Amino acid sequence: MKRFLFSLALVAASAMMAIAQPFVRTNSATPKIQFPDIPGFHTLVADLHTHSVFSDASVWPTVRVEEALAEGLDVISMTDHVEYHPFKKYIPEDNLASTELILNAAKNKPLIMIPGGEISATSDHFNALFINNQNDTVLKNKTPSIRIKAAKDQGGFVFWNHPGWTSRAKDGNAPVDEGFYQLMEQGQINGIEICNGDEFWPETLVLAQRYHLTLLGNSDIHGVSHYAYTPDRHRTVTLIFAKEKTPESVREALENQRTIVYCGNYLVGTPDLLTQLLTASLQVSLPVVIH
């Protein structure tokens, strides 16, 4: 069995800056997130869980493109809830609209847009990436396994969102419904959000290790990023190690679990990837000697 141990790089903010220098200050208040490439792979900064006014957020979809570029992201996915439309009096209930708008806005920009949707008809939420018909009514089914199957039938990559949310986990631990073990065993669930926003659930690493789930950390942003992120508080992102800067390579990397989650002052991933990233982040220089 593939060695799949996890390490937590518990690094204080000041040390993090010294080692990886992930932030580069720009004219705006929000610094860019930057990490170096590792041998053989591009390090892509990704947020695979965002929302717009087409579900329950407060911004127009194209704003997510501007925010992503300002923060140095390489990959985003617009994952509006497919069954939840609190603004339907004003905004059409069309789950394809936000994807279409954001795809057009990202055209000719250095940003990879992954089509997706949040399938959240019950308190168990999942994101389905790489799907092409977010209006499929089966995605709204109240039985998680049925809506997950509908996403998989569209060729979706499905991950479990915020498994430790207090709405479903009163003690902060992620309870696993019986059927979920089967879904994970069958490969119907491909990944898990170990971090969502500022929340981190270390116990989810056990599930990830046991079922070979891809580690993900995303913002789940509903508001305006400029107000949410400051030089002291960055967006939670997933670092994806991709062979090429293409959607296909992003998918290949996700399917082969080549990710590290950057959440608060934590970098979470396999020892192998963490070692490669931290090594690539080091700069060694000789001291200047004044004669």
Between 55 and 154, CB nearer to Zn ion: 55
Q: What is the footprint of Zn ion within residues 126-165 (CB under 5 A)?
A: 161
Asked whether 76 and 99 are in contact (CB, 8 A), the reply is no
Task: Tell me which stretch binds Zn ion (CB under 5 A): 84-92, 171-179, 213-221, 276-284.
Answer: 213-221
| Residue from 64, 85, 125, 235 binding Zn ion (CB under 5 A) | 125
Binding to Zn ion, residues 26-85 (CB under 5 A): none
Which residue number has the CB closest to Zn ion? 125
**CB 80 → Zn ion: shortest distance, Å?**
8
The residue among 125 and 152 lying less far from Zn ion, judged by its C-beta, is 125
Burial class of residue 228 (count of CB atoms within 10 Å of its CB; 0-12, 13-18, 19+): middle
Residue 62 CB coordination number (10 Å): 16
Nearer to Zn ion, 199 or 220 (CB): 220
Footprint of Zn ion on 160-189 (CB under 5 A): 161
CB 237 within 8 A of CB 77: no
Q: Which is nearer to Zn ion, 197 or 269 (CB)?
A: 197
Q: Cβ 51 to Zn ion, closest distance in Å?
A: 6
To the nearest whole angstrom, how small is the minimum distance from the Cβ of residue 77 to Zn ion? Answer: 11
Residue 71 or 80 with smaller CB distance to Zn ion: 80
Which parts of 91-120 interact with Zn ion (CB under 5 A)? 118
Which tokens belong to 259? 């990710």
Nearer to Zn ion, 118 or 136 (CB): 118
Q: How far is the CB of 177 from Zn ion (least distance, A)?
A: 16
Provide the β-strand partners of residue 23. Answer: 33
Residues 193-212 binding Zn ion (CB under 5 A) are none
Query: Of 214-233, which residues contact Zn ion (CB under 5 A)?
Result: 220
Q: Least distance from C-beta 181 to Zn ion, angstroms?
A: 21
Nearest distance, CB of residue 161 and Zn ion, angstroms: 5
Cβ 96 to Zn ion shortest distance, Å = 18
Beta bridge partners of residue 78, listed in sequence order: 50, 115
Q: Which residues bind Zn ion (CB under 5 A)?
A: 118, 125, 161, 220
